[in-house]
Structure 1
Amino acid sequence: MEMENTTRRVLIIYTGGTIGMQQGENGYTPVAGWMEEQLRSRYAFQDPYAPPRTTPPSKSGVRISYDIVEYDPLLDSANMETRHWVQIAQDIKKYYHEYDGFLVLHGTDTMVYTASALSFMLVNLRKTVVLTGSQIPLSELRNDAVNNLFGALTMAGLYEIPEVCLYFDNKLYRGNRCQKMDSSGLGAFSSSNLAPLAKVGVEIEVAWHLILQAPVRPLRLRLIKEQNVGAFRIFPGMSASLLRQFLQPPIRGVVLETYGAGNIPATRADVLASLQEAINRGVVIINCTQCAKGSVRSAYESGSVLAKIGVISGADLTIEAALTKLA
């Protein structure tokens, strides 16, 4: 629900990404301190008659007061690693009781991985956590950064949605249910198996029936520690020795990216033997479809053989969600 307190507090965790980059000699690069300067200079993010880092009032009269934690160094999201996911989760936990919501500014390439990881690490989350970024930097005259940033700040500050979300192009998604679908379009993300949690137009329409119920227990962290996990994509004519090599120690968990509704070539006894051997050693293997929409089902023999040897159905999990959940 939208809150009606006079002022709501949001912590912006700025990790890097295109949104805060400027053109340099070798292309776009992030600049320390620049993001906060830009927000101070824009009316949507700074009411000139209010204290620093305070927005003008919303239609319902609520202001958002925000602080910024800027990471050093700022990262292109292609350089994001497991330890950075843990750092973000720990920062949210550290400041959890000081703010009403959290906004993570992040590069788009691995944003879904981070959103998925946070959704599994922040157990019993009661506050709104939103990730956003942009395809065009804030430094460019024509950009999608202002719209994404203000929309995400609005959702994090004015609405109680106890989930890790991703906001992009006027839509709020459940973070672990979406994927990056477009490398250059402004509507870069989509959630094929779950409708957006909110759509922002003339009015903000929240699909409250989809929002998870706020937990009663206090927030706790379940940190990601396992790095010996990976994803293997099934493809026609693949070598069983390649799969067997991939499944060797120290691997402990695998997302098996299969055809259609969770199928593999059922006639490949060598492939099935490699999978069975790994499962017998304790490797956890999750069956996820290569398709963007739909789920794993045992409707065909080529899919049911996996269940029989102990491969776990990933249902409609995205590859990113399955991988971070394994970790």
Structure 2
Amino acid sequence: MKQERKRILIIYTGGTIGMMKTRHGYAPQKEKFHQLLDAIPELKAEGMPDWEVVDMDPLLDSSNITVREWNTIGTMIAGNYDRFDGFVILHGTDTMAYTASALSFTLRNNSKPVILTGSQIPLCEIRNDARDNLITAMQVAADDRVHEVCLYFGGKLLRGNRSIKYSADDLIAFESPNFQPLAEVGIEIRYNFPALLPACKETFSLQTLKSVPIGVIKVFPGIQFELFDSIMTERLKGIVIETFGAGNIPGSSDALLPIIRKASENGTIIIVCSQCPHGTVALGAYETSEALRNAGAVSGYDITTEAAVAKLYYLFSCGLEEKEIRSRMEQSLRGEITI
């Protein structure tokens, strides 16, 4: 008996992969991009899944993607969840890791492959990375062994909430600094089965996100923390602090710790991440980081800034109490941190 083809929904959000040359530079053009897709013979070859395309409106450069677009993409997936076996999201590279992280949290109890991909060179160009990224993403999206939100790019399948954009001009643009790739692609797709999340047996649902006020502060030598005092109000719900090394801050500054205490007393959740791509935050390992813990900060361990921001949005949108949010930020919900 001939095996029935899997059905994949391609969600086109914009980004370099579908852009065309215009007088004002590259810009997305929906109709021409659809024509280019239809002209790729491999997408209709035996062994490939059946597919449909839906477009986000308007199509956006990924630098313009916001919480609203994360909700739009999530709603598109949720509305078609029972009709398709997998999903491929074509997205610009600049904020792809943020979107992948956000979807990993908002798609609750997801057991289907949701693969984000894009390209550094548009599909319209003769030499491009768009074609191979798209074809492989489609094959992964049709694979029953993947049950999570992933990012595929340049021969590597990464957990979405573990990925970061590493290069602006290399064809291998993304890395997963603290977690091994879920698959590496050469002649064959070689899956790292122990790293894959198992299928969830609970009922799928979508948690839309609220656009709550969240900030990011990157510590640098000579930083004047007192400049941030004015933003530490009750309105600020969460803040991610990118510290040195394992969670260290300048020991000579007396301004930061009172600001963090003030923010914590206002109900603001302070998450400590490391500026180092590799390694983990260990609050208390050094005297300069123990002060952060005592002031009310929460360890992000080896979470990326992208995932920390998305996770804060998600937990606040769930309507949880401050104590519960603080606790869950130090727990792995979707494989985003190593405890």
Range of TM-score over shorter length: over 0.9
Aligned to 1:31: 29
The 5-angstrom pairing of residues 1-327 of structure 1 reads: 5-45=3-43, 55-58=44-47, 63-297=48-282, 298-327=284-313
Distance in structure 2 (CA, Å) of the matches to 1:231 and 1:66: 39
> Contact 1:86–1:224 at 8 Å: present in 2 too?
yes
Aligned to 2:323: none
CA drift of 1:249 comes to 4.1
> Contact 2:216–2:239 at 8 Å: present in 1 too?
yes
Distance in structure 2 (CA, Å) of the matches to 1:271 and 1:133: 40
Aligned to 1:74, the other structure's residue is in SS state coil
Work out the percentage of aligned pairs sharing the same amino acid. Answer: 44
**Which runs of no fewer than 5 residues in structure 1 stay unpaired?**
46-54
Distance in structure 2 (CA, Å) of the matches to 1:123 and 1:237: 42
Aligned to 1:134, the other structure's residue is in SS state coil
Moved more, 146-155 or 241-250: 241-250
Distance in structure 1 (CA, Å) of the matches to 2:264 and 2:247: 18
Task: With the length of structure 2 as denominator, give the TM-score of the two structures.
Answer: 0.89
Distance in structure 1 (CA, Å) of the matches to 2:152 and 2:311: 21
More strand by share: 1
* Structure 2 letter corresponding to 1:302: T
Distance in structure 1 (CA, Å) of the matches to 2:231 and 2:195: 38
Distance in structure 1 (CA, Å) of the matches to 2:256 and 2:276: 21
**Which runs of no fewer than 5 residues in structure 2 stay unpaired?**
314-339
Change (3 A) 1:5 1:174: farther
Distance in structure 2 (CA, Å) of the matches to 1:153 and 1:227: 34
> Contact 1:198–1:205 at 8 Å: present in 2 too?
yes
* Structure 1 letter corresponding to 2:26: Y
> Contact 2:67–2:211 at 8 Å: present in 1 too?
no
Distance in structure 1 (CA, Å) of the matches to 2:234 and 2:265: 13
> Contact 1:116–1:175 at 8 Å: present in 2 too?
yes
Change (3 A) 1:300 1:96: same
CA drift of 1:299 comes to 1.4
> Contact 1:122–1:222 at 8 Å: present in 2 too?
yes
* Structure 1 letter corresponding to 2:141: A
Distance in structure 2 (CA, Å) of the matches to 1:150 and 1:107: 17
Moved more, 298-307 or 93-102: 298-307
CA drift of 1:182 comes to 0.3
CA deviation map 1:109-159 (0-9, x unaligned): 000000000001001001000000000000100000001111111100134
